[in-house]
Chains A and B, each alone.
Chain A
């Protein structure tokens, strides 16, 4: 199932709807009629108010959960079971707490039948890439939150995914580490060109790295706007690009779209508080 550095296929979501049964037994629509098209090897950032259904969208695309309605195609094939070649950096901690850092990173290759010595060697290289050499034998609970996140990145990227789901992967990192990791991610992406869905709350980050920014509405979420980011690549360091005029223009445009939703989300929360 490990792809050989081939670039990812395109991702097409059509009329995707997901309903959950809440603990009180009611049906609750998390996302409704979502349509997103991501070209092969493209980088798509998703922004939207909290709780609107961004994580749900990624979960469905990766094949971890089933749709209530609609279809998702990846590289032309409908999603059924875990999508082949997918990698997923989860929003929450997902490292196996009983495995050491190196065993966590080597887990993916081992599950894919790569011999142990080779998997360990590869894991060591990836730990070096995320700057965690020397922490091989620590257990996850002995690391800081940011370090755990980096291990998780390594554990995902080591499988060389052709399709990459990233759910706020850098939110636990400090500003400097975040900049380094973002640049590192861009380098890796330029090399193997997976198709990426990247959820973030940081609009600057979204514009700086993505080909396309999707703005979602408050829950039940649907796609509000899609913005093509026409900044030339390679874009170089994220820190510099955000002062370019085109960047600022795009930022203003997208922020206007997003702000409405965020404000509505807060207004709805406030209304709920009053009725409660």
Chain B
């Protein structure tokens, strides 16, 4: 009773301190960026580093502005962004679906996985980027070859995690569900897949990056549209600012996608106990 007031004071103080710390972090981040960009700009302005090779922040902004306003040689810049995003998204979706399906299938049927393991390891050991060339030959310069490459890159990441997730299902839970009358299919749906979900979700972050890499590399290898083509054209013209500019756009896309996935993850894994560093959200 007596120290009720002091408790409130303490809580208030802790809150203030946390707020001050957050402000400091934010300030530090902005500061780092300003110093980095400032130095880059000044050093290239003074020709201490060659702007031809290193571009400059203002040059990049101008380049991007030009693209957004006047478009590129092969259509509006927005369209290039959309093409790359479409390829990544389709590649991501197909890759994830196939990865989960085959991961669960092989995880559930040991004979099948024993038969397939050496081949899967072999294909996985290949530098899969070279498959892009084959896909271009097979599927042409359009969208399908890029989707295929992105999907293959995504597939392996998701597949291995899904497989591992299925393998590490708690046998106790399986026994419990079987006793309660679950059929094989019920087990997969209610026990195996939910249990593998945290493994699968962990792989999706890496898979997302791979889907974008797949699309861009595919465009590099031969395309009529897309950010990869924008970059390779800029590269051929020694347009350093162009390469950096396109990179920046890709970065923004990747970060936004990552954010969306964070939201999806929170929904899918709502049942999980809060981890140590977000415990504050659940407790008072």
Contact = CB atoms under 8 A, between A and B. Distances in A.
Instruction: Determine the main DSSP class of A at the interface with B.
Output: loop
Interface stretch (B47-55, B170-178, B224-232): B170-178
Contact of B179 (A82, A100, A139, A141): A82
B177 A96 contact: yes
Instruction: Determine the main DSSP class of B at the interface with A.
Output: helix
B176 A88 contact: yes
Interface residues of B, number: 20
A64 interface: yes
B190 A112 contact: no
A94 B176 contact: yes
A111 B182 contact: yes
Nearest to B176: A94
B190 A90 contact: no
Contacts of B197: 98
A252 interface: no
B181 interface: yes
B96 to A, nearest CB: 19
Interface in A98-116: 98-100, 107-108, 111-112
Given A94-B172, A96-B191, A97-B271, A64 B179 contact: yes
Interface string A104-132: 00011001100000000000000000000
Given A111-B180, A141-B273, A96 B175 contact: no
A86 B178 CA distance: 10
B98 to A, nearest CB: 23
Contacts of A64: 175, 178-179
A133 B186 CA distance: 27
Nearest to B273: A141
Contacts of B142: none
Given A96-B191, A107-B190, A112 B173 contact: no
B209 interface: no
A195 interface: no
A228 interface: no
A87 interface: yes
Contacts of A100: 271
Contacts of A62: 179
Given A99-B271, A107-B190, A111-B186, A94 B173 contact: yes
A111 B177 CA distance: 9
A87 B179 contact: yes
Contact of B175 (A90, A98, A142, A155): A90
Contacts of B178: 64, 82
A90 B172 contact: yes
A244 B176 CA distance: 38
Contact of A96 (B183, B194, B273): B194
A62 B180 CA distance: 11
A1 B183 CA distance: 12
* In the complex, the 3 A-B pairs of residues with the closest C-beta atoms, listed nearest first: A94-B176, A111-B181, A108-B180
Interface of B: 172-173, 175-183, 186, 190-191, 194-195, 197, 271-273
Given A96-B190, A108-B180, A141-B273, 7 more contacts: A1-B181, A64-B179, A92-B172, A96-B176, A97-B272, A98-B194, A98-B197
